[in-house]
Amino acid sequence: MTSELFSPLLLRSGQVLANRIGKASMEENMAGDGQVPGKQIFTLYRRWAEGGAGLLITGNVMVHAEALTAPSGIVLDAHSPLKPFTEWAKVGKSGGGSMWMQINHPGRQVPSGMPGVVWGPSHIGVNLGRHSKRFGRPTAMTAQQIDDTVTRFVVTAHRAEKAGFDGVEIHAAHGYLLSQFLSPLVNRRTDRWGGTLQNRARMLLDIVQAVRAAVSPSFAVAVKLNSADFQRGGFDADDARQVIEMLEPLGVDLVELSGGSYESPAMTGRPADESTRAREAYFLDLAKTLVKRGPVPLMLTGGITQRYSAERVLDSGVAMVGMGTALTLTPDLPHRWRNQHEADRLMEPVTWSDKALASAASMARVRHQMRRLARGRKTNPDTNPAIALLSERRKQRKALRTYRSWLSEERSTTG
């Protein structure tokens, strides 16, 4: 008998995913010259495509060249050459799975020292205690900037389809711009984008509606949403339920549930304080509630490493299992599960007392594994997190010089 894990999933757009295992988005920070994907990215995604997942979702692709989460981020805007993206889509689909592009704007989550803009719904910066200076101070967006950003998402989605991707995932989680608008802690606006949840969700809903209208009916449109921000007084499980109800009539194919932000990094397994740790069950508990209430298929991401856990998620009624770190360590894990095998080794969590630093080290260590795969090497789960973090910071300093030069040239060319 075939496990439900390996049964196809028919989406509202008519697209069929080959199985219920999805590679969740993880920011690669491997852009080549011109902030586009290059040879390393292609090698990495070929490894994942050969691994047997029914869906691959790219790391963050930025819709605004002047607003990146890191200087080595990938940008797809109106001026980007399409050929590298066409190659990326082709490689991602080479194993028979679907390939979606995650599209995003960082809002206020931009490292300090970066050229460009730091925007948010309000003037409230990222609060990481003594690490707060790592991020730029945001300015509240004007109505025109909001409208222009909606257009940027549409342009990126349209060009992603043109490049051969099967769909896009609009990122409204993890404390990025759309998540910031949803959060009552960050969004203190008093105009049509602030106050009530309907107003705070307006930008996301406008983007989804405009993207759906700009792409083919068979092109998938998904949303990544926090089940909760894991911050007292922030976006919570009931808010998530209501937003999904708002998204349903707009033709969304899939909602991926995750949680947390840079301030409370539940997505790396480390909420901001111990009192919120038990609430991480919201990732699955909320999904169980939503499955009973609405027709939008859900994908659940966060900490799934074994086939037993994946099947338990599907048994709850969730449509797709999303995995990040597990597929970085073992890119052929779906094939292994099909043959009743598991991953050889797992990566131990980073348990430093400084939670902001621990989260950064966790992400750096995952990206270190991606770089190993991109060079055709085996992964090493025992990589020292401190060494990975230091190596990452050196790479980012070098990338910043390249990005600065490119952006300056880009601005002068596009006027």
- What does the alpha-carbon distance between residue 272 and residue 130 come to, in Å, rounded to a whole number? 14
State residue 283's pLDDT score.
66
State residue 261's pLDDT score.
60
Q: Which CATH class is domain 4-414?
A: alpha beta
- What does the alpha-carbon distance between residue 349 and residue 408 come to, in Å, rounded to a whole number? 39
pLDDT digits (tens, 9 = 90+) for 400-409: 999 999 999 8
CA atoms within 13 A on the CB side of 154: 17
Judge whether 332 and 338 are in contact, CB under 8 Å.
Answer: no
State residue 147's pLDDT score.
98
Q: How many residues does the chain have?
A: 415
State residue 275's pLDDT score.
40
State residue 267's pLDDT score.
46
Q: What are the residues whose beta carbons fall under 8 Å from the beta carbon of 5, sequence distance 6 or more?
A: 19, 20, 21, 307, 310, 311, 314, 321, 337
State residue 302's pLDDT score.
81
Q: What are the residues whose beta carbons fall under 8 Å from the beta carbon of 106, sequence distance 6 or more?
A: 62, 67, 68, 69, 176, 177
| Residues with pLDDT less than 70, the chain | 1-3, 228-233, 260-283, 293-294, 414-415
State residue 70's pLDDT score.
95
pTM: 0.93
pLDDT digits (tens, 9 = 90+) for 159-176: 999 999 999 999 999 899
